[in-house]
Amino acid sequence: MNEVKELLRGIEQKYKLFQQQQLTFTAALEHCRENAHDKIRPISSIGQVQSYMEHHCNNSTDRRILLMFLDICSELSKLCQHFEAVHSGTPVTNNLLEKCKTLVSQSNDLSSLRAKYPHDVVNHLSCDEARNHYGGVVSLIPLVLDLMKEWIAHSEKLPRKVLQHVSGTTGTRHHAWLILCIFSRDGVSPC
């Protein structure tokens, strides 16, 4: 559990840096939309941002901020996998995790997403931008972070025997196994 909390904190730190550059992000998306001759439809998916970066991005500043967004989304997706390895889940945690996985999927339609108070990301957009173009894409990360924090809060309330011990090699390969901890009367765990 400590590992996933630490990973989430790292993502939150990256998001704070990204959030300070939201105007650069929306400007980069605007430049890409112009280059793609795609000024009508809203930014509706992570895959669309990826495609814009790969095919319609022609300066390093725009590429850097779009890549930062995509990296954060990728890390959120990987964190969902870590969450699955921590415990088998309850109906509440499984529902939260499914929402996270759906939101960070490459093809999920983000156009109707809107982060609400206490998040002010949409408030930094003009009314036209918020309503029609970027409200969903700028709302994605704060909404997923909220769901993940809620998942952790619910998971920490679970009995210890439900949690799994996560171990593995360095890098992205992790192996998880269920450790059943049955406590004896004297409180000593055989695990």
Q: Classify 175 as helix, strand or coil.
A: strand
Sign of the torsion angle spanned by Cα atoms 49, 53, 59, 63: positive
Q: Specify the residue for token string 């995790």.
A: 97
Estimate to the nearest angstrom the gap between the alpha carbon of 107 and the chain centroid.
14
pLDDT of residue 169: 36
Radius of gyration for the alpha carbons in the chain, expressed in angstroms and rounded: 19
pLDDT of residue 88: 78
d(CA 115, CA 143): 6
Question: Residue 169: what residue type?
Answer: T
Strand partners, 163: 87
pTM over 0.85: no
Q: Take residue 144 and report the two structure tokens written for it.
A: 């997923």
Half-sphere exposure of 107 (CA within 13 A, CB side): 0
pLDDT digits (tens, 9 = 90+) for 48-98: 999 999 999 999 999 999 999 999 999 999 999 999 888 778 899 999 999
